């Protein structure tokens, strides 16, 4: 079986499960400790525009967010589009332009894949964006160690994520 065929099979199984019993599908997922609380607090405080940029389909993301908070369910979500993979750096560049963030200054992006952060850093429209590697996600010890040697990426622990933005840098 090819990787593409396996991916289609996994997607089909997830789609069937979600269509049959979305509550059960949601119940089998968990957020990392403190993430929901931090995002909820940031949204409640105002002054920061939060957008969820994900490779998941928007309907899955909304179901997960909505399972934790009605307020989180209303956040803007940019997810995978059927039949078209939209690169996160492309999405971030569009968001920066929509919000008048020249060179991405003022845009902060938390991501768990170092390769995605590398691609974002390579985009001219994101040259001044804050790029944070989530130490709790899909990355390796080598990724986390290597990020500390790079001025363009800040390693972000769950504890720092849960704290004030001033402590992120």
Residue 97 lies in a domain: yes
Residue 117 lies in a domain: yes
Residue 11 lies in a domain: no
Residue 62 lies in a domain: yes
Quick one: pLDDT band at residue 55, thresholds 50, 70, 90?
A: confident
- CATH of residue 155's domain is 3.40.50.1000
Range of the domain at 110: 30-167
> Over the stretch 86-127, which tens digit does the pLDDT of each residue have?
789 999 999 999 999 999 999 999 999 999 999 999 999 999
Residue 129 lies in a domain: yes
Statement: residue 82 has pLDDT above 80: no
Statement: residue 36 has pLDDT above 90: yes
Residue 85 lies in a domain: yes
| 78-82, 127-131, 141-145: range with highest mean pLDDT | 127-131
What region, left, alpha or beta, does residue 117 occupy, with left being phi > 0 and alpha being psi -120 to 50 degrees?
A: alpha
Residue 16 lies in a domain: no
Statement: residue 163 has pLDDT above 90: yes
pLDDT at residue number 149: 80
pLDDT at residue number 1: 85
For the chain, the domain total comes to: 1
Q: What is the mean pLDDT of residues 128-153?
A: 90
Quick one: pLDDT band at residue 79, thresholds 50, 70, 90?
A: confident
Statement: residue 83 has pLDDT above 80: no
Quick one: pLDDT band at residue 148, thresholds 50, 70, 90?
A: confident
Q: What is the mean pLDDT of residues 47-61?
A: 92
pLDDT at residue number 147: 85
Residue 74 lies in a domain: yes
């Amino acid at each position: 079986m090819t990787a593409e065929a396996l991916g289609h099979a996994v997607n089909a199984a997830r789609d069937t499960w979600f269509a049959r019993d979305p509550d059960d599908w949601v119940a089998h997922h968990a957020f990392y400790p403190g993430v929901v609380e931090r995002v909820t607090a940031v949204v409640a405080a105002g002054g920061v525009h939060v957008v969820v940029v994900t490779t998941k389909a928007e309907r899955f993301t909304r179901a997960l967010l909505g399972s934790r908070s009605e307020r989180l369910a209303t956040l803007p979500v940019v997810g995978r589009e059927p039949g078209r993979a939209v690169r996160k750096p492309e999405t971030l560049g569009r968001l920066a332009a929509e919000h008048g963030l020249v060179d991405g200054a003022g845009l902060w992006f938390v991501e768990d894949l170092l390769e995605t952060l590398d691609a974002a850093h390579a985009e001219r429209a994101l040259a001044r964006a804050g790029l944070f590697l989530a130490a709790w996600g899909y990355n390796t010890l080598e990724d986390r160690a290597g990020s500390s040697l790079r001025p363009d990426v800040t390693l972000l622990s769950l504890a720092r994520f849960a704290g004030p933005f001033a402590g992120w840098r």
